[in-house]
Amino acid sequence: MDKSNWTLTSFHKLGFSEYEILDCVDEDNVIGRGASGKVYKAILSNGEAVAVKKLWGSCKEADGKEQKEDDGFEAEVTTLGKIRHKNIVKLWCCCTHKDCKLLVYEYMPNGSLGDLLHSSKGGILDWPTRYRIAVDAAEGLSYLHHDCVPAIVHRDVKSNNILLDGEFRAKVADFGVAKVIGKGPDSMSVIAGSCGYIAPEYAYTLRVNEKSDIYSFGVVILELITGKLPVDAELGEKDLVKWVCATMEHKGIDQLLDAKLDLRFKEEISKVLHVGLLCSSSLPINRPSMRRVVKMLLEVRPLEKAKSSKDGKLSPYYYEDASDHSVA
């Protein structure tokens, strides 16, 4: 890759240069491919690792044809560059050269929740770990919806966009299609979301707002509890939300739990399932706000709530206030 005339825009103090990053953009270092780009693992001279995303269509292909430029770059950089939260993947910097665009993120050694949960290693994720992942992701989304002005809607919440660090703590990632929602109409120009996670009203409104993210997050909760993909041949013609509802009605909760989960936690799991079903209600008005979701999840484990508060990890906005009743 040509190393001349690159522009580096940093959002944090960096201990590396763009040249170190460019050296690692090599097919041998590819660790994943997402909706918005190909991801490489870069080992820096100081021994640390970062993840480098090269956006689809932002660089010339080997045959020299120019792909369509991906508008995701500007959205992702503008959004992520401003964000500082423990449950949002950190964007270190971006590198640009003509139409080539690279995003440099913190490296998450345990990869995505989706890849791990649906692999043969899914058993590593016991119930306490899955519960903590749900809380972490909820806190990240709550920050986007309630603490960012204007509010930020992710638009592609799914298990593959929830990344896990070395201790299996979760961070929300991939703002490739995130939009900053102001006071205007919540409209959109491209399809937002992934199969199985898209809120039903999208089919007739073609609009997204916070309620769309909340539906998708509900699907992630159901994934954590059932161990099933949101769209799976096992489910027949139903999606995961419909399958869970039907199974609950006809067979009971025992028939939908992931076999890898310890039934000692059944009462807790049942409470979290209730939250997941509220989030994935077919009517947007029935879905609780993410602020309310965090509160409900923390109430499942009172000790966890006290710990979060004591550690200063729980911001005051997570507590219910009068304005929350209209959306809960």
The per-residue pLDDT for range 152-201, each reduced to its tens digit, is: 899 999 999 999 999 999 999 987 556 555 544 444 445 677 889 999 99
Classify residue 127: in a domain, yes or no.
yes
- Please give the tally of structural domains in the chain: 2
What pTM was estimated for this model as a whole?
0.84
What three-state secondary structure class fits 150?
coil
Same domain, 70 and 120: no
pLDDT for residue 66 is more than 70: no
Same domain, 272 and 172: yes
DSSP 257: S
Query: Mind listing the pLDDT tens digit for each residue in 118-162?
Result: 999 999 999 999 999 999 999 999 999 999 988 889 999 999 999
Classify residue 43: in a domain, yes or no.
yes
Residue ending a domain, among 106, 128, 143, is 106
Same domain, 248 and 187: yes
Same domain, 205 and 125: yes
* Averaged pLDDT for residues 97-123: 92
What share of the chain has pLDDT > 70, as a percent? Answer: 80
pLDDT for residue 302 is more than 50: yes
Within 8 A by CB and 6+ apart from 124, the residues are 116, 168
At 271, the pLDDT band (50, 70, 90 cuts) reads very high
Classify residue 122: in a domain, yes or no.
yes
Residue scoring higher pLDDT (258 or 4): 258
CATH label of the domain that carries residue 44: 3.30.200.20
| pLDDT, the chain, mean | 83
CATH label of the domain that carries residue 151: 1.10.510.10
Checking phi first, is residue 98 left (phi over 0); if not, alpha (psi -120 to 50) or beta?
Answer: left
Same domain, 21 and 123: no
pLDDT at 241: 97
CA separation for the pair 45, 49 (Å, rounded) = 9
Same domain, 251 and 163: yes
Classify residue 2: in a domain, yes or no.
no
Classify residue 1: in a domain, yes or no.
no
CA separation for the pair 244, 230 (Å, rounded) = 10
Identify the domain containing residue 279 by its residue range: 113-326
Same domain, 95 and 148: no
Residue 51 CB burial class (10 angstroms; 0-12, 13-18, ≥19): buried
54 is in an annotated binding site: yes
What does the H/E/C string look like for 18-31? HHHHHHHCCHHHEE
Classify residue 79: in a domain, yes or no.
yes
Same domain, 101 and 156: no
Residue whose tokens read 């067979």: 251
Do residues 321 and 294 lie in contact, with contact meaning Cβ atoms separated by under 8 Å? no
pLDDT for residue 264 is more than 60: yes
What angle do the packed helices 240-250 and 266-279 form, to 10 degrees? 130
Residue ending a domain, among 106, 130, 152, is 106
Cα 104 to Cα 50, 76, 150, 161: the distances in Å are 7, 11, 25, 16
Residue scoring higher pLDDT (319 or 292): 292
Classify residue 313: in a domain, yes or no.
yes
pLDDT for residue 91 is more than 60: yes
Q: 22-36, 234-248, 273-287 — which is least confidently predicted?
A: 22-36
Query: Mind listing the pLDDT tens digit for each residue in 27-60?
Result: 989 998 876 778 999 998 888 999 998 876 656 5
Residue ending a domain, among 106, 130, 161, is 106
Same domain, 49 and 195: no
Catalytic, out of 63, 115, 147, 156: 156
Same domain, 56 and 177: no
* Element holding 134 (H helix, E strand): helix 127-142
Classify residue 27: in a domain, yes or no.
yes
pLDDT for residue 321 is more than 50: no
pLDDT at 111: 94
Do residues 248 and 235 lie in contact, with contact meaning Cβ atoms separated by under 8 Å? no
CA separation for the pair 183, 186 (Å, rounded) = 8
pLDDT for residue 81 is more than 60: yes
CA separation for the pair 56, 76 (Å, rounded) = 13
Same domain, 133 and 254: yes
Same domain, 86 and 127: no
**Residue 136 a catalytic site member:** no
